Structure formats: structure tokens, C-alpha cells
């Protein structure tokens, strides 16, 4: 790529390093020796995505802007014609891709449904005592109720 680019003799990494510095500065999970380490990789992914989108669409950059107009990287590359607000970005409706029915490949074997009359394999430790008879009433538990023995007064 370096040979095909006119005027370039060395590789310049300043732009990507600036982006890395901005990401590290604005996303607490990427700072060094921080208490905000990413517990889940998914939250880090969403944070980086949101930061990257706002970096390109919502924030103007000093090197790209002129005295009359604030310009974002998306405006400089021709993707948009104005600076986006955060509300506009978060409420923008994206049209979903059209649904395509997946192609069927080969025949699928259909498993027979399990027979409900057939008993399942027992799990866990075997019982030491048999189950109580469901027809017999349960034994009362806890402290017995206070009952007045005689209702006669003297």
C-alpha cells in the first residue's frame, strides 16, 4: 500500500494513535489501572461502537474545520451534510435488511416424541426412606395449639 500511495515513503500511524488516545480518554473501561474494568466484553463492544459513531458523526474536528464551518470526519468523507446531535443519532431509524428464507440442505431427521407413559430415568441419589402415602393426612408440625381444658368457672 505504501508503494501505491504517491508521496509516501514511511508509514504514518499518527491518526490511528490519535483515535486510540481518544477512545482511551473517553471510555473508562480502556484507561490504564482503572476500577472500571470491563466485566462483560459485550458492554465494552457497545461502548466502543457508540463512541466511534459519535466521534465520526457528532463531533467536529479542529483539523478538518474552517473558521466558517464545523466539520466532522463523516462530513469530510461525504457520508453526511451536517453535524448530528446525540438525540438525532440515537433516534435514527435504520431500515432492516429484507428477510430471506434460509435454504434447506438435505433432509433433517425428525426425532420421535418421548412416550409420556414411559418413565424417565431416575436422577439424583436414591431415597433411603420410601415416599409417604398420599392418602394419609400429614402429621402436624410445630408446637400444638393452646386449648382451654374446661370451660366452667367457679
Q: At 61, list the grid cell.
A: 474536528
- Give the SS3 label for residue 93: coil
Decide: pTM greater than 0.95: no
Tens-place pLDDT, residues 10-56: 777 777 788 788 888 888 777 776 666 666 778 888 888 888 899 88
Q: What is the DSSP letter of 132?
A: P
Calpha distance 51→15 (Å, rounded): 16
Tens-place pLDDT, residues 111-149: 777 776 666 677 788 888 888 777 887 777 777 777 776
Amino acid at each position: 500500500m505504501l508503494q501505491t500511495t504517491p508521496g509516501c515513503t514511511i508509514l504514518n500511524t499518527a491518526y490511528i494513535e490519535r483515535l486510540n488516545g481518544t477512545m482511551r480518554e473517553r471510555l473508562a473501561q480502556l484507561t490504564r489501572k482503572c476500577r472500571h474494568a470491563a466485566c462483560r466484553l459485550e458492554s465494552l463492544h457497545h461502548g466502543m461502537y457508540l463512541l466511534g459513531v459519535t466521534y465520526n458523526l457528532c463531533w467536529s474536528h479542529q483539523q478538518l474545520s474552517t473558521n466558517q464551518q464545523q466539520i466532522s470526519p463523516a462530513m469530510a468523507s461525504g457520508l453526511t451534510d451536517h453535524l448530528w446531535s446525540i438525540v438525532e443519532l440515537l433516534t435514527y431509524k435504520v431500515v432492516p435488511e429484507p428477510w430471506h428464507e434460509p435454504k434447506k440442505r438435505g433432509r433433517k431427521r425428525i426425532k420421535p416424541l418421548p412416550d409420556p407413559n414411559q418413565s424417565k430415568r431416575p436422577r439424583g441419589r436414591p431415597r433411603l426412606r420410601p415416599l409417604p402415602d398420599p392418602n394419609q393426612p400429614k402429621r402436624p408440625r410445630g408446637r400444638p395449639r393452646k386449648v382451654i381444658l374446661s370451660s366452667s368457672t367457679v
